[in-house]
Structure 1
Amino acid sequence: MGRKGEIQGYRSDFAFDEDLVNNPVSLRVIHPEFEDINGNVILDDSKSVPASGTARMWILFEVSRRERDAKSIKLGMKGYFMEGARKVAEAEVIEINGLYSNPMYE
């Protein structure tokens, strides 16, 4: 098994630049589901994920999605996988699906 952060079950917090201006930083509970080079979710939790690529990002709390994330997340935004206040990886919003409505909660 690889180092922490290299497998599918990795669960960091997430932040955008606007979240890092305050002290303490304002982290978001948005977790990755890493994809292979064909855009399919990597199903094997013990399999290493690519060092770069794409991930489906899941907002864990409905209230946060509706009241904060849906109002602030835009295409092209740069974000960061966070371990505490430490940036461990960079990301960019390249597609938005299901952010503005979620039938599960409506």
Structure 2
Amino acid sequence: MESYQPYHEIFRRSCDFRVKYEFLPLDNPTGYQYLPSSGEACRLMYQGARLDFQYRDNLKFPGQGFIIWPEFEDPAGFLILGKWIPIEPFGTARMWIINRDFITIHKQELSIGTKGYMINGSSKVATCEVIELSNHLQN
């Protein structure tokens, strides 16, 4: 099994915040997995996916995506290190603000309970809610 190189090794810091997420259902189930709770098809995702973050209901940044990448955790909260193990359709993820020039903006906008989306281009892939902030994002 090919292993995944964690972002804390690449960026030499800790993640910026954590979210709970749930992948959104798809209309076309071909090649996708299913949400156990609803039976609806959702995206098949792997660790290292370069999904961005979009705030939900934020009037300052309507529809704008930010380069904030997820790193998915297993049900116990440990980082998934297998690169080709399918990610569960819901769970928790560590979020990494890639463009550090925007850290001040995110510090003002992020709080426990902030809702958003993981996006791929303009497509919403998952809903998410902030459950934890790193020390440098806390006010």
1:7/1:88 CA distance change after superposition, 3 Å = same
Structure 1-normalised TM-score? Answer: 0.80
The answer to whether the aligner puts 1:73 opposite 2:110 as a matched pair is yes
TM-score when normalising by structure 2: 0.62
Shift of 1:100: 2.4
| Residue 36, structure 1, aligned to residue 74, structure 2 | yes
Match of 2:124 among 87, 92, 95: 87
1:27 is aligned to: 65
CA deviations over 1:30-49 (Å, ceiling 9, x no partner): 10000001100001111111
Q: How far apart are 1:75 and its partner, in Å?
A: 0.7
Which protein shows a greater Rg? 2
**Structure with the greater relative contact order (CA < 8 A, sep ≥ 6): 1 or 2?**
2
1:50–1:37 Cα change, 3 Å: same
Q: Distance in 1 between matches of 2:136 and 2:68?
A: 12
SS of residue in 1 equivalent to 2:74? coil
Task: Give the structure with the higher percent helix.
Answer: 1
Counterpart of 2:54 in structure 1 is 15
Q: Which has the higher strand share?
A: 2
State the percentage of identical aligned residues: 35
Q: Which runs of 5+ in 1 are unaligned?
A: 102-106
